[in-house]
Amino acid sequence: SPFEQADTPATLKGVDKVVDNEMIFDVGPDTSAKFAEILKKAGTIVWNGPVGVFEYDQFGAGTKALSEAIAESSAFSIAGGGDTLAAVDRYGIADKVSYISTGGGAFLEFLEGKKLPAVAILEERGQ
């Protein structure tokens, strides 16, 4: 763990104030608000990955805000990846996400347009 203790407090500061020996573990409220505004206008949302180390409450505000914005959006939403699914579960929004993918890396490869081995085999057998 990068923390000396699980209850290490978070310090809110602008990214321009972060010094060399510090680490960023979450987005701040201004960034969260900007993300929420963008998501309100979206027609489709693909969510793969939290924006903070949400497993620690003090670094989870950004991911919680993102999950709430997705839940409130009228867009078609897709959530994929293990950490993302853990966040969906933690913040109780599974019923507000249009589609939840458990495919992990294959989910991203499919979005990139890559051939998935299992799909390729099924396509070959179908011919």
Class of the CATH domain delimited by 27-125: alpha beta
pLDDT digits (tens, 9 = 90+) for 12-33: 999 999 999 899 999 999 999 9
Tens of pLDDT, residue by residue over 29-82, are: 999 999 999 999 999 999 999 999 999 999 999 999 999 999 999 999 999 988
- Using DSSP bridges, classify how beta strands 76-80 and 44-47 pair: parallel, antiparallel or unpaired: parallel
pTM, two decimal places: 0.84
pLDDT at residue 60, rounded to an integer: 96
Q: Indicate the domain borders of the chain.
A: 27-125
Q: Is the pLDDT of residue 105 over 90?
A: no
d(CA 9, CA 57): 10
DSSP-derived secondary structure letter, 100: E
